[in-house]
Structure 1
Amino acid sequence: TRPVQYEQAGQNGKTDIFCPMYFDYKWCEEYSRGDNPRPLIQCEYAHVMGNSMGGFKEYWDLVRKYPKYQGGYIWDFVDQGLRDTSRITGREIFTYGGDYGRYPASDYNFNCNGIIAPDRRLNPHAYEVQYYYQNAWVEDKGISDGRIEVYNENFFKTLDDLILEATIVRHCGEDTSAVVTIDISGIAPQARRQIESASLRDKLAEIMGTCARSEIVVNFAFRTREAAPLVDKG
């Protein structure tokens, strides 16, 4: 009853999952459109070292387009640095690689290549991963009239545990902002709902009327109603 995955088996060996390493976009799409029934789950497909994750969107565009392409694994979860004190500044740092000699066993800047830092703070590229892993989405359907579409990408749960906030930011001399809350309860798994929010429409009209030539941005955020395991309220 347990699926078996073995990278070296390739596409037709004794494996239930086709699990290559670093298949590029073209190969992923060709496989996803082909006849092999095995799901594609890459055993490694993103290397989060340094200023990374710039090509993550293209992979997830394909994951969302083809049901057979079911994602992959990121190398890796946490920076493998050691807590130490800088000999130059005296400040606490996380050491790795070349900090231990010209020819270290860990190959210079290895192994600080995680989504999170050694002390579990989020690295900048963690926010890129977070964005493309989210399961709730907003699409503009005429936002000046307060019209949006919300998509629940979850397979088994509604969005009842979330609140949708629209923050309207105006850049006109001194920046100002306003927050509108939009009800998204009752949206079933894998369902879309078009919403017309009078509050969003009216607040946008009010702000646009005070400084019509300025840049106005609407940022949407899904916030949790209550705390959950690993997730704070809000």
Structure 2
Amino acid sequence: MSSGPAGRWDDLNVRLVSSVVIAVIGVLGCWAGGIAFLVLTVVVCAVMVWELARMLDPDSPAIAMAGVAALCLTVANFLPPGFALPLLIAPALVGFGQLPRRRASFTIFTVLILLAGFGLYTLRTNYGFLWLGWLLAVVIVTDVCGYFAGRYIGGPKFWPRVSPKKTWSGTAAGWIGAAIVGVAMALWTGADLQLAGISVSVSMASQLGDIAESAVKRRVGVKDSSTLLPGHGGVFDRFDGMLGGAVFLLLISALIDFPPGVV
């Protein structure tokens, strides 16, 4: 593998093509909303659970656990939140009883995955395509700014033992990009400029989701969660940032006026 300047960009073309395909599918699903978006979120979450189970224990009944997660998430989205919550936790408990090891990792991440899926569908249903688009933009801009700044600027590594490619320059660039998205969205919608701070916080949460997944992969000794997405690895590798951002937004929505300043 090349270690020169060109080597830093070897995967760019494949990543770009995959990103365009993922973006088109994602935008169409988000725009359509309703059942189409529900199916999209359920499929993505189920695949992430499947990848997680396979990473933690290749001999686990990963397909069955993904099926349980898909069923519970689907039903949960048709119930009032109080009745939905037990269903969002149940697949983690089922997996806890099936895995002979690394049960805590499976339990924590499965709960977060299902909460993220539930939160995304709730955001689309309650606030519409515009605010779901804001969340997607924050996470995507964080990732894109981090990718290019990290490779173009370089500099000190963020956490080399867990994620050797991530740099402080890329991390900070993600925050700046998210703040710009927040300011632009506030000016467009008339929301309070506090949205910039919320955007940076969501950006940080998405980075934590990325780091947490990297730590799991490092622990089990795999490079990618799967090979489903060329240039990106697995679905978990692609949506780990969205996982962190969506769960964070779901949690803080009870603490802040969201969207801020919008009647």
TM-score class, shorter: under 0.3
Q: Which has the higher helix share?
A: 2
Normalised by the size of structure 2, how large is the TM-score? 0.22
Bigger RCO of structures 1 and 2 (CA < 8 A, at least 6 apart): 2
Which structure has the larger Rg? 1
TM-score (norm 1): 0.24
